[in-house]
Amino acid sequence: MSERRKQYPFDEIEAQWQSLWDQQKTFRASNPGDPDFDPEKPKYYALDMFPYPSGQGLHVGHPEGYTATDIISRYKRKLGFNVLHPMGWDAFGLPAEQYAIEHGVHPRETTEKNIAHFKAQLQRIGFSYDWDREINTTDPSYYRWTQWIFLKLYNSYFDTESNAARPIAQLIKSREEDFPGESAGERNAYINSRRLAYIDEVAVNWCPALGTVLANEEVIQGKSERGDHPVERKPMRQWMLRITAYCDRLIEELEDLDWPSGIKKLQQNWIGRSEGADVHFTLDAGESASTGDRITVFTTRPDTLFGATYIVLAPEHTLVDEITTSQQLQEVTAYRQTAASKSERERTETSKEKSGVFTGSFAINPVNEEKIPIWIADYVLTSYGTGAIMAVPAHDERDHEFASKFGLEIRQVVDPGKKDDSCFTGEGTVINSSPLIDGLGTPEAKAVMIGNGKEPGWLEKNGAGMPRINFKLRDWLFSRQRYWGEPFPVAWDDAGNHFALSEEELPVEAPAMDDFKPTGTADPPLSKALEWVKLHEHSTRETNTMPQWAGSCWYYLRYCDPDNKHDFISREADDYWMNVDLYVGGTEHAVLHLLYARFWHKVLHDLGYLKTREPFQKLVNQGMILGEDGQKMSKSRGNVVNPDEVINEYGADSLRLYEMFMGPLEQVKPWSMKGVEGVYRFLARVWRLFMEEDQEGKWQLSDKVSNVEPTKKQLRILHETIKKVGHDIESLDFNTAISQMMKLTNEFTSADSRPVSSLAAFLHLLNPFAPHISEELNRIIAAAFPDVAPDEQLANASWPIFNEDYLVDDEMEIVVQVNGKLRDKMIVSKEASEAELEAAAKQLDKVQPFIEGATVRKVIIVPGKLINIVAN
């Protein structure tokens, strides 16, 4: 193809327009306070999920979502909106750091190089970003505010009364009033335990080879995703963010958002709210247990308490040491050791057989005073609920499997109401329990046990338990042992107390280090920068860094006011721009990024810094683009398509158009170079609609383009197209908008006389999709027909208005059916009455045979569409 002559000079056109846009700052959005700001204009905020600038550069999956938001942005500008359409870089992260370690290049260098490459690639596609608002999470002027937000989290607590975050000062004040005699140390400990950012000792995925803690999703089958190194569970002191305080709001406030229902559901499931009860089982006075101790379990089925035939504790449960009898000690110890050596992944492998051991002790079931054995097993997780369960093997599959294996009693207490010989976990009628609940349905029996919201239930009245709501979501492990991340604005004193740095000390920049290799111990690389670490005579800096998620939690806010030196965002900018009207990105961020960003947003909202409760009003996930072989694109498969190559061959407009023409935005679809060629041919057809080659092969305006009145047919298709393209852009159905423009092009191509007024209008429609070619053609006809096409850029000119009058016909085609089967069609006047229609239909030769000798039972008329005669 490179040998072949280009069908139109896209390479010259595209470069020219791109540099013009750049020089003129055509797509600059003005902020409140700017001299050219127009408060009358409505705003529109179209946001892409910003990329991690990897060394590989863009592949054709990136521009899919970017093109969609670009079309919307260009379209909205033409409708008179002030459009915020920015781009930036999520540039902290492990790949740059690993590269640094392996090649001795500072991650800042790699990052800068990668960003430059990414940016150049994006600019070649002709996106209408306001590059004045470009942000980079690794820039100290950016991450100073990431650190500032961390200070807000550190200096806040969650007030359950108002169900919102409040300044920690309020908590300190009320604590002082409530406990005036408390020592400073005690008070400090209490306050620290309530902060939204706090320190905890938690089991983490520690990777010795990489020298860092990894997130669960970075661990694949006990090995690190990057490098395939072994990962072990290890308790470490970590910074945590109290996202669990927001569980309820993160679920409830999803409701008003215009997000795909699947993504909402995914978030709900991730947060995993379940209602139930804590139930206390008293320990039976065994040899080592002291009387009166109790085990608390969490259950969502308090109606099945009478079917609880044993208790299971997580192997790590704190009571295990206390209750294990000497006969069982050896077995229990061995089991706990095995469990501890397993990774989280191995522990939760559902396919594996249940395992566990008996502790030798017993507990008393509070509902019937029965003595039931206490086991430990790794299918009970220490991190959920109370780390202990009551096992009801008749009505829980996991308990059933366990009981069957170890010969424990299985007692049925729910009647399914139908024949069911499997383990029944659904709702039914209570049996074999007690007069208290026997005969009740599952929901009623639950209510008796836990209460109905007004009246306390049996458990509470008898001191045997409490209603309780549990969540799967855990607090967010927020520290990493890495160099290439935001340092914490925190330090430690000699006594081991942490304290926040002041806002004036921000940004806390990482020291320039030559050696950022992991230390091989739990100490982060920053601990090697001894001078930096030492803050004052009696204090040292925190040496952990923040995870990659941090910067992306609030970047959408910074775009609104990127150069603000005094605030992370000004009140005016927040008021005006937020929230995001359209957010487009991949499903891979459906849970974590979106959940974390929503959490931070809510905290900042609670503290009075933001007006909105939610950041992203409308969310769309673009579908993945597969390789030509229908497989996921990957280097190893060799099916990766580089947008640069596509642009070299066919131009940026063709790339943009094909990305959108492939199919519905949200759908997964395979790439096809033949398909690119198809849209390229379409653009060439558009070009030749206006242009023709002279003897020397130079392009000039075609004689066929003239200032004539369009025909009725031409007007009709033009206005159909104006209507459809506008509608389809609004609903993000770009593929069908493009096909309509192809239809129009075909129609006008076959015309000998091409009315310039119609063609000019068409260029407006094409402009958001293929901005370079449309601007160029518009410039050419504006020069030749100044009365028809004003000499202005399409980017700034108004979207055409369609006129419904051109769409209606005097006549219409009506489908004639007999008994629902198509028999004929007829052309009738638009004014024809139903009776006239019926009479005309019955006269048709192709209809007659089917109604002859039959009784007409019914005639169905769909106005303007069809007539159906029901006869037998």
Regarding 221 and contact with RNA (CB under 7 A), the answer is no
Select 53 or 387, whichever has its Cβ closest to RNA. 387
Contact 427/439 with Cβ under 8 angstroms? Answer: no
Candidate list 187, 571, 669, 716; residue touching RNA; CB under 7 A: 669
Select 84 or 380, whichever has its Cβ closest to RNA. 380
Contact 488/182 with Cβ under 8 angstroms? Answer: no
Of 35-43, 367-375, 486-494, 662-670, the window that binds RNA (rule: CB under 7 A) is: 662-670
Select 290 or 746, whichever has its Cβ closest to RNA. 746
Candidate list 10, 52, 246, 298; residue touching RNA; CB under 7 A: 298
Contact 470/297 with Cβ under 8 angstroms? Answer: no
Q: How far is the C-alpha of 188 from the C-alpha of 192, rounded, in Å? A: 6
User: Which 392-411 residues touch RNA, going by CB under 7 A?
Assistant: 396, 398
User: Which 738-767 residues touch RNA, going by CB under 7 A?
Assistant: 738-740, 742-743, 746, 749-750
Q: Crossing angle, helix 168-178 and helix 184-192, to 10 degrees?
A: 140
Planar angle of CA 805, 810, 813, nearest 5 degrees:
115
The token pair that represents 692 in the structure block: 């023709």
Select 238 or 745, whichever has its Cβ closest to RNA. 745
Regarding 677 and contact with RNA (CB under 7 A), the answer is yes
User: Which 509-568 residues touch RNA, going by CB under 7 A?
Assistant: none
Select 459 or 491, whichever has its Cβ closest to RNA. 459
Q: Which of 387, 425, 395 is nearest to 411 (CA)?
A: 395
Candidate list 54, 123, 274, 333; residue touching RNA; CB under 7 A: 274
Q: In which element (H, E) is residue 175 found?
A: helix 168-178
Concatenate the DSSP letters of all residues of 404-428 into one string: HHHT------EE-SS---S---S--
The token pair that represents 438 in the structure block: 């026997």
CB atoms within 10 A of CB 839: 11
User: Which 843-862 residues touch RNA, going by CB under 7 A?
Assistant: 858, 860, 862
Of 186-194, 431-439, 526-534, 681-689, the window that binds RNA (rule: CB under 7 A) is: 681-689
Q: How many residues bind RNA (CB under 7 A)?
A: 82
Q: How far is the C-alpha of 763 from the C-alpha of 17, rounded, in Å? A: 15
Regarding 668 and contact with RNA (CB under 7 A), the answer is yes
Select 347 or 618, whichever has its Cβ closest to RNA. 347
Candidate list 79, 285, 329, 381; residue touching RNA; CB under 7 A: 381
Candidate list 154, 682, 785, 802; residue touching RNA; CB under 7 A: 682
Regarding 435 and contact with RNA (CB under 7 A), the answer is no
Concatenate the DSSP letters of all residues of 147-184 into one string: HHHHHHHHTEEEETTTTEEEEHHHHHHHHHHH-TT--H
The token pair that represents 25 in the structure block: 């700052």
Of 218-226, 527-535, 552-560, 818-826, the window that binds RNA (rule: CB under 7 A) is: 818-826
User: Which 467-496 residues touch RNA, going by CB under 7 A?
Assistant: 470, 472
Regarding 822 and contact with RNA (CB under 7 A), the answer is yes
416-440 exposure pattern, b = at least 16 Cβ within 10 A, e = fewer? beeeeeebbbeebbbeebeeebeeb
Select 629 or 792, whichever has its Cβ closest to RNA. 629
The token pair that represents 781 in the structure block: 């006809």
Place of tokens 């590989």: 56
User: Which 310-369 residues touch RNA, going by CB under 7 A?
Assistant: 314, 347-352, 354
Cβ of residue 750: shortest distance to RNA, in angstroms?
4
* Furthest-apart CA atoms within the chain: distance in Å: 109
User: Which 621-660 residues touch RNA, going by CB under 7 A?
Assistant: 632
Contact 543/535 with Cβ under 8 angstroms? Answer: no
Candidate list 454, 635, 674, 712; residue touching RNA; CB under 7 A: 674
Binding mask 242-271 for RNA (x = CB under 7 A): -------------------xx--xx--x--
Planar angle of CA 673, 678, 679, nearest 5 degrees:
100
Candidate list 573, 679, 781, 789; residue touching RNA; CB under 7 A: 679
Q: How far apart are the first and last CA of the chain?
A: 63
Q: How far is the C-alpha of 166 from the C-alpha of 179, rounded, in Å? A: 20
Cβ of residue 301: shortest distance to RNA, in angstroms?
6
Cβ of residue 867: shortest distance to RNA, in angstroms?
9
Coil vs helix vs strand at 613:
coil
Binding mask 92-131 for RNA (x = CB under 7 A): ----------------------------------------
Candidate list 819, 840, 842, 844; residue touching RNA; CB under 7 A: 819
User: Which 199-218 residues touch RNA, going by CB under 7 A?
Assistant: 217
Candidate list 57, 167, 208, 678; residue touching RNA; CB under 7 A: 678
Helices (H), 555-669: 555-558, 571-577, 592-606, 643-650, 652-661
User: Which 586-615 residues touch RNA, going by CB under 7 A?
Assistant: 587-588
Q: How far is the C-alpha of 44 from the C-alpha of 28, rounded, in Å? A: 13
- Amino acid, res. 390: M
814: left (phi over 0), alpha (psi -120 to 50) or beta: beta
Select 752 or 791, whichever has its Cβ closest to RNA. 752
Regarding 4 and contact with RNA (CB under 7 A), the answer is yes
Candidate list 663, 788, 838, 840; residue touching RNA; CB under 7 A: 663
- Amino acid, res. 712: K
Cβ of residue 616: shortest distance to RNA, in angstroms?
19
Cβ of residue 393: shortest distance to RNA, in angstroms?
11
